[in-house]
Amino acid sequence: MRILSGIQPSGKLHLGNYFGMMRPALQLQEKGEAYLFIANYHALTSVHEPARLRQDTLDVALDFLACGLDPERTVFFRQSDVPEVHELAWLLSVVTPMGLLERCHSYKDKTAKGIAPMHGLFAYPVLMAADILIYQSNVVPVGRDQKQHVEVTRDIAVKFNNEFGEVFTIPEPFIPGEVAVVPGLDGQKMSKSYGNTIELFGEPKEAKARIMKIVTDSKGLEEPKDPAACNIFALYKLFANDAQRAEMEANYRGGNYGYGHAKKALAAIFEETFAPFRARRDELRKNMDYVEEVLRKGAERARVESSKTVDRARRAVGLV
């Protein structure tokens, strides 16, 4: 089973990224042949500062390696180090219906938020389809709100196969059942665009300060509280084991347990989880040659597979 994941280097990674994409991807490296790429071509739809893009790309590499990515088990690479993906994106674009792209909610959502309409943003799903299909991926882990991306890829692959012959594996979306939408400080989905994030590798004091700003209702210390309706508990249970979750639930329902207590417990379990990762990241930063070597070797492995697929696609359409 070949598993593909990708993440954009468009800012500091946060808890929403970790629980929504990073941790499931790291767990899946134990389940099959994992490919994980840093989607720096995709990031160009929102990042037009070259120095920032370079730094954010390296930061993502550091973050994944610090959190447990094993480059022996996962083919880890920069998207831009596999240029074949753009040739395949063009070959796919000649069979992609305009109506399919017009129905994609990602384009609508981003332009509704004020992002300028552009071809790159509109054609984003075709490049994403190329990312997935070029490695003949079987499984693509996604959040529930991203399932449409894989469905579009499947539609494009089926249309190409029907037109030119069986070239592509039809991928399946994998939605980790235990991963919910990660709430931000304000209760909305945690997102850089909302400014409601908790960074994975910011200063510990800053992380704690942001946790203490999580929005709650106005119930007093003595009053019983509903853990299911609380953003603090929603975040805490992502870290906690069964016993820890049960203890906090009992504290909420028993009264004499304030939101300040819950925030301090969340800050403590956050630091307990990420302190070892932070130490590992600090060590990796001292050896960026190693990080670059991991990405270079990953790209070499990825290009072996990408070249095979592009050759098949070129032959299928008549370019060879």
Active site residue 205: no
Q: Considering the candidates 12, 189, 219, 297, report the single residue annotated as catalytic.
A: 189
With residue 2 as reference, give the H or E element that holds it.
Answer: strand 2-7
Active site residue 189: yes
Cα–Cα distances in angstroms (integers) from residue 269 to residues 12, 32, 54, 264, 296, in the given order: 20, 30, 32, 9, 35
CA atoms within 13 A on the CB side of 96: 27
- Number of CB atoms found within 10 A of residue 264's CB: 15
The candidate with the shortest Cα–Cα distance to 75, out of 271, 284, 303, 308, is: 303
Cα separation, 80 vs 296, whole angstroms: 11
36 in helix, strand or coil?
A: strand
Active site residue 192: yes
Cα separation, 202 vs 206, whole angstroms: 7
Q: Considering the candidates 12, 147, 159, 192, report the single residue annotated as catalytic.
A: 192
- Number of CB atoms found within 10 A of residue 296's CB: 12
Q: Per 3-state DSSP, what percentage of the chain is helix, strand, and coil (rounded to 5)?
A: 60, 10, 30
β-sheet bridge partners, residue 95: none
Cα separation, 154 vs 170, whole angstroms: 6
The residues that are catalytic are 110, 189, 192
